[in-house]
A = this chain, B = another copy of it.
Amino acid sequence: MMTANVELESTIQRVREEVAALHGELVRYGLVVWTGGNVSGRVPGADLFVIKPSGVSYDELGPEDMILCDLDGNVVPGTPGSERSPSSDTAAHAYVYRNMPEVGGVVHTHSTFAVAWAARGEEIPCVITGMADEFGGPIPVGPFAVIGDDSIGRGIVETLRGHRSRAVLMQNHGPFTIGVSARDAVKAAVMVEDVARSVHYAREAGPLIPIPQDRIDALYARYQNVYGQAEDDRR
C-alpha cells in the first residue's frame, strides 16, 4: 500500500512536470495570450488529472503550480497548488476524462485561425495531405455552449467520440483537442491552428482542390500505422 502510494506520488510528479512544460509549447507556437489557454494530463492508473491554475502568467507555471483534480473536477485538498483555483475550463476537461477513458490529455486555446473558423461555425475542409495524416479528414464544429454546467464537455465528447479528428472547434468559442497523452493533445492544438491558418489563406484566394476520400483514408491509415497510437510514438 505504501509502495503503491509512493509510486502514485512519483507518477503525479511526472505528470505535473510534463503538463507544466507543455504550457511552454502553447507560448512557443503563439496559440495563447496573457493567461488564456490550458493543458491537462491524466494521471495514469488513478482517477485524477493535473491542470493549469486559473489566471496565472505563463512565465510562472512550474510543476508545483499545477493543480491536481479528481474526475469530477474537484481540487484534491492539501496537494501542491491546491490553494489556487484551477482553470475555469476544468469542468470541461473533467467531463472528457470521465467519458473518454482512452484520452490522456486535453488542451484548450483561443488560437487565432481556429477561433475564426469557430466564429463562423464552419468545419475546416481536408485539403492538405498533412491534415489527412494528422486528423484523417475535416476538423468538426461542436455546439455553442457556455461555461457553467457540463455543456462544453458534453459538446466535446459528442463531437469527437468515434471521430478521427482529435480537435473540435466549439462554435463561437475555440478549439479543444484531445490525445493519448497531454503531449499528443498539445501536438493536436499546434496542428489544428496550423491547418486552420493554411486553409484560411488557401481558400480566400480561390477554389480549393479536394483530396479524394480514398486518398485521405490511405494517408490517415499509413500515418497511424507508422507513428502508432502509443504516447511515445506520436511525437
**Complex: A188 Cα to B31 Cα, angstroms:** 18
**A107 is an interface residue with CB less than 8 A from chain B:** no
Chain B residues whose CB sits within 8 angstroms of the CB of A198 once the complex forms: 110, 112, 115-116, 119
Interface-side segment among A7-15, A41-49, A189-197: A189-197
| Closest residue on chain B to residue A32 by CB atoms | B194
**A224 is an interface residue with CB less than 8 A from chain B:** no
When all copies of this chain in the complex are counted, the total is 4
Q: Is A119 a contact partner of B208 (Cβ separation < 8 A)? A: yes
| Closest residue on chain B to residue A55 by CB atoms | B235
Chain B residues whose CB sits within 8 angstroms of the CB of A190 once the complex forms: 33-34
Interface flags for A136-159 (1: CB within 8 Å of B; 0: not) read: 000000001011100000000000
Choose from B29, B120, B146, B205 the contact partner of A219 (Cβ within 8 Å). B146
Nearest CB on B from A167, distance (A): 14
Interface-side segment among A61-69, A73-81, A96-104, A124-132: A124-132
**Complex: A226 Cα to B10 Cα, angstroms:** 33
**Complex: A198 Cα to B207 Cα, angstroms:** 19
Nearest CB on B from A225, distance (A): 11
